[in-house]
Amino acid sequence: MRDSRHWLTWLALVGLFLLLTAMPAFSQQCALCYTQAASSGRRMIQALQGGILILVLPPTLGSIGMIFVVYRKSNQTRPTDDSDESDQDW
């Protein structure tokens, strides 16, 4: 119980830290990108949004997949070396 409470507290602090440090990142905008997007037409804005999606989606899916694989592998157990029933000599 205490270990899970410690883990939850640590996770909450990390989440709070990430939320607080993300605020300055949102305020930094590229002036060139902003002016180009503001002066462009509807098709260019759609192309820009599509490009952003294409650049964000693969790394996000890859990260989620890697987290899933690591989580699944961490729950697997290895046989102990103390058993006399083992036929393998390592």
Collapse the DSSP code of 32 into the 3-class scheme (helix H, G, I; strand E, B; otherwise coil) and give the result. Answer: helix
pLDDT value, residue 4: 74
Least confident window among 41-45, 62-66, 82-86: 82-86
pLDDT value, residue 87: 57
C-alpha distances (whole Å) from 51 to each of 29, 31, 32, 43, 54 are 17, 18, 17, 12, 5
Q: What average pLDDT does this structure show over 38-64?
A: 86
CA-nearest of 18, 35, 15, 37 to 26 is 18
The pLDDT of residue 45 is above 90: no
Q: What average pLDDT does this structure show over 46-56?
A: 85
